[in-house]
Structure formats: C-alpha cells, structure tokens
C-alpha cells in the first residue's frame, strides 16, 4: 500500500465502478473474517438468521442491522478478534457521546493507521520538506496523536511534539524550530492570534504556512469558511485543511487543496449515509455517517453508526481523486436540540460565539427543564459583561438562530479550566446534561 513517491493511491483515481468492485471484494473478505473471529458478529449473524456468504456487495449491507456505541460498551470484549498476546496498543475513544470505549490494536492495525495518515496528510500537500508542530496530546490513550506522528514519519516530515495549550510555548517552538505547519484544534488558533497581537508578533512573517484542523469544522455545508475559519484567516493568512476522523474508524477524511470536503479512502473503509430509519440518503442530503472498517485485525466494525450528521458528494474532485467527499459535521444524532420550537445542533451556537472577538471561550450546556423541554445555557468566557454587550450577544443569537439561550459570564481562565475537566484530551465545549 505504501508508496512515498505516489501519495495518491491508484484506487482513489480509479472509476467509481472500479472502486465499488474493489470494495465489494474487500467486504466479502471482511464478512468471512468476522464469521470466523468475532464473537459479537458471529452471534449477531446467528440471531438474525444471516448467512455471511450472501453479503457480497456494498448494497447488500442494507440487509444487516447496524452496530451502535451501546453495543461496543456492553459487549466490548466480544468485538476483539485476536488473542490478547497480539495486542500492541490499547486506546480509548474521547467519550463525546458518553463513556469512553476501549479499542485494542495489533501491530498490523498500527501500520494501517500510519498508512491512513500518510495518504491523509498527502491530501494537505505534505512533503518531506514540511515540519509539523503537533499541538495535541500523544498520551492519555489518545489515538489521534500517535496516528499523526506515524503518518508524518512516513512522509519524512519533521515533527515538533509540543502538545496542547500554552500560546507562549507554541510561539517559542515556532521561533526555535521554524515549523511550516500545525496540527491543532482550530478554536485554539484565535487564542494564538490574540497572544501574538499582545506580544507584537507578526503572524504572517512566521514560518507557518498551513494548519491541519482536527475535531471541529472550519467550513459551512457549502464549503465556505464558517465564522471560526473566517476569524482565523482574517488575521493569519495560512492554508486551512479540515479533517474528520474517529477512533472507531481508524481512518481520516482530509480535504485537499480544493477545500471541497474530506476525501474517502476506499482501501480502508466503507461509508454509508443513513437517515433516522437507517435508509440511505442521496448525495447532497444530510445523513448519519455509518462505517465498515476494512483491513482491521483486532476490532473490525460492521455498519457502525458514528452519530455524526454530514452531507456527502460523489462527483470527481479536480485534484484527481474520484472518491466520495464528506462535508463538515453539522451535528450529532444524539445531540439534536429542540429549543423553543426550533431544531438545532450545537455547532449553530458555536458559529454565533466565534463571530465575537470579545468571546474568548465558551461552553454550551443542555438540560431538561421542569416542563420536560430542552433548555440551553451558554457559559461565556469574556472580560466584557456590560448590558450593551449582553444585548449584542442575544441579538446575534436571535438573528442567526431565531432564539436566544440563557447566558452566564465567567472569567475566561475559569472557562478554560472547565473545558479540560477530568483530564479531557480535547476541549469539551458541549455538555448534554439531559
């Protein structure tokens, strides 16, 4: 699979028919593997009266039930397909939709992960001449950190492992090592911009040329930069690349220089987009991302529901890839909010808050009130709290969302601490307390 001189795999430049034929063959191998090695799926097939040999095409997946995170939590060990002695690394999910889930990985799975990141960073035009500053943790059982590290090594790129937080340390590393690129949660970049302005650092005269943005969207569904993306670009003229990934899939969807959605890697994963009745949606329609992993040894997944709602697009990209492209995550199935008669996802609140420079950070909390309906409280980290600003904030919510949540102000330093409570590996901006 690995070819350092041709970072776009041939299968991604193949026709749709060739890609589908390839995935059909890989799916048949997976079904046989699950029947022979997975206690969970073997029992599921028996219980549902499914002959694994009859699942021969991607379309045949619709004959199978979906797998959920509840299944992973309740039957975690039953998903493991290899003996413990073959496990090299244990990781856990970030717990965005509940308690973290344990994932075990073999040496082969780690090599697959490195290959995934190699071809994903290739989407962001990474070469051996790049030096990447990793602004995220490589510990705490966090899969993404080690994945980025291994993928960049395959490119021969330089790596500066700084970790999250501390704008002063980030700029010290930029000055010392002259990295060309960052891997970061994009909402941290405005903090770097504020720090640079306070220290009279000329951002556009640094070595940084691009940022690979993880964990949060920087684009709208039409691929224009959202409020956060615009806020970054207004002050720091660097290339921004959005990504979508999760521990469960062990695969990333990274956008290329065209900025038209994250590219699918058909060697590594089958992806479906389903409505609330688990029926396929058309290209351009919003659907839940449902994945089937290919080439995973320890804990392969079949029709796993990620909970993420995205649009997808199937026309060829001008970069030369003919694979499906994923738009930004517009919300999570379990996090839909019915607020004062309006259906919303949390990112709608983020977009309003990111548009105001006085808002340094924030947390959105969702509760059920005495009437049994959803109630939203936004905890705003800001030094400005006058009546005029409160009105401006509420008016901004009403203009964009038609409704205004309850607003509570806190010191930005306190909010920052709360964002990383319980030693969280990434900021927990949304809290569903229903």
Six token digits for residue 155: 């490119």
The residue written with tokens 């973290």 in the block is 100
Identify whether the C-beta of residue 90 lies closer than 8 Å to the C-beta of residue 141: yes
pLDDT tens-place string over residues 180-202: 999 999 989 999 999 999 999 99
| Residue 6, pLDDT score | 54
* pLDDT, tens digit (0-9, with 9 covering 90-100), for 28-44: 999 999 999 999 999 99
* Spans of the chain, pLDDT less than 70: 1-6, 94-99, 341, 371
Q: What pLDDT does residue 9 have?
A: 94
Please state the pTM of the whole predicted model: 0.82
d(Cα 430, Cα 434) in Å, to the nearest integer?
12
Q: How would DSSP label each residue in 87-139?
A: EEEEEE---TTSS--EEEEEHHHHHHHHHHHHHHHHHTT--TT-EEEE-S-S-
β strands within 179-295, DSSP E: 181-184, 210-213, 239-246, 251-255, 262-263, 269-274, 286-293
Distance CA 34, CA 166 (A): 45
């Amino acid at each position: 699979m690995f070819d350092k001189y041709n970072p776009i795999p041939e299968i991604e430049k193949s026709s749709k028919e060739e890609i589908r034929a390839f995935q059909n063959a890989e799916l048949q191998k997976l079904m046989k593997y699950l029947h022979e090695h997975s206690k969970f799926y073997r029992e599921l097939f028996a219980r549902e009266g499914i002959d694994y040999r009859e699942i021969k095409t991607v379309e045949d997946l619709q004959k199978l039930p979906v797998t959920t995170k509840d299944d992973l939590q309740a039957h975690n060990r039953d998903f493991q397909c290899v003996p413990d002695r073959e496990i090299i690394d244990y990781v856990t999910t970030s717990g965005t939709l509940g308690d973290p889930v344990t994932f075990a990985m073999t040496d082969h799975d780690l090599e697959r992960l490195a290959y995934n990141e190699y071809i994903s960073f290739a989407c962001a035009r990474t070469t051996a001449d790049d030096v990447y500053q990793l602004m995220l943790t490589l510990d705490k059982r966090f899969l993404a950190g080690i994945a980025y590290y291994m993928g960049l090594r395959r490119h021969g790129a330089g790596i500066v492992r700084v970790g999250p937080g501390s704008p002063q340390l980030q700029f010290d590393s930029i000055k010392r090592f002259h990295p060309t690129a960052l891997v970061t949660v994009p909402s941290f970049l405005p903090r770097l911009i504020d720090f640079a302005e306070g220290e009279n650092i000329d951002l556009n005269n640094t070595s940084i040329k691009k940022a690979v943005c993880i964990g949060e969207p920087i684009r709208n569904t039409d691929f224009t930069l959202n409020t956060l993306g615009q806020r970054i670009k207004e002050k720091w003229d660097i290339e921004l690349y959005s990504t979508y990934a999760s521990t469960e899939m062990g695969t990333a969807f990274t956008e290329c220089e065209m900025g038209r959605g994250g590219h699918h890697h058909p060697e590594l994963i089958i992806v479906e987009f389903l409505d609330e009745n688990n029926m396929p949606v058309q290209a351009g329609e919003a659907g839940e991302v449902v994945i089937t992993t290919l080439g995973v040894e320890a804990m392969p997944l079949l029709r796993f529901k990620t909970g993420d709602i995205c649009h997808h697009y199937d026309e060829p990209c001008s970069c030369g890839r003919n694979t499906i492209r994923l738009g930004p995550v517009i919300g999570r199935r379990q996090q839909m909010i019915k607020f004062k008669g309006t259906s919303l996802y949390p990112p709608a609140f983020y977009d309003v808050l990111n548009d105001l420079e006085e808002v340094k950070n924030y947390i959105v909390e969702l509760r059920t009130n005495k009437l049994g309906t959803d109630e939203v409280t936004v905890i705003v980290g800001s030094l400005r709290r006058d009546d005029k600003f409160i009105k401006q904030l509420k008016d901004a919510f009403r203009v964009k969302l038609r409704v205004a949540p309850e607003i509570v102000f806190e010191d930005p330093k306190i909010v920052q601490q709360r964002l990383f409570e319980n030693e969280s590996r990434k900021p927990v901006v949304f809290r569903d307390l229903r």
